[in-house]
Amino acid sequence: MKIRDIAELTAVLLQKHDLLAGGVFNGEPQDDFVKSQLADNRELRLLIRCVNLVLKEVACDYIQLIHRQTMTAVEGKIDYGDFEKTLLEIKSVKNLNGEDVRYFALPDYVAVEDGVFEVSYAFVPQDKGFFDDVDFGGTKAGDRVFAYGAAAEFCLISGNYDEALMWERRYKDALTVATRKTTEVIMPRRRWW
């Protein structure tokens, strides 16, 4: 799933025929053409911005994205600047044997004993470009969830509050379905005498 796909679905939902007819979403548009359209078309830029806002909101509040990274602690510190992605929450720190290691998240760094560790952490996705893939590939959140959220943001920013409320309800309902736990319920066997 790409930003382009979510933006196109959002434009369809909002009935933005001028954006759809602009040729940006037709086939495989040229990179130079898309750049010129993004430079000239305020609504297209706003649409891409809304999609990125929704991706960050979902990652921070609903479906955490987890990244694993091998890191080295020097003088009992792992600086936050050493993380490849924007850190949201540390999930675990393990040594090379796979054992959990005690750590403390301090304001400037992670305090841990010296050594090499595998750090698992939730992260905030970076802003994506028009042709970039989203980070939610292995989750149940599909492009429609993000398109509903982007439509709500777009309407809110544009001052269309009633329509924004409608899209916000659809977005929250779709998120509820996407984040629902699907565990199998097994009832105990009954005896018939």
Residue 23 — very low, low, confident or very high, per pLDDT cuts 50/70/90? confident
What pLDDT is recorded for position 137?
Answer: 77
What pLDDT is recorded for position 28?
Answer: 66
Query: Does residue 27 register a pLDDT over 70?
Result: no
Query: Does residue 5 register a pLDDT over 80?
Result: yes
Residue 133 · residue 117 · CB < 8 Å:
no
Q: Is the pTM of this model over 0.75?
A: yes
Domain ranges of the chain: 3-62+136-179, 65-124
What pLDDT is recorded for position 132?
Answer: 87
Shortest CA distance to 1 belongs to which of 10, 179, 36?
A: 10
- State the average pLDDT over residues 142-165: 94
Residue 53 · residue 125 · CB < 8 Å:
no
Please report, rounded to a whole number, the percentage of residues in the chain having pLDDT higher than 90: 60
- State the average pLDDT over residues 118-146: 88
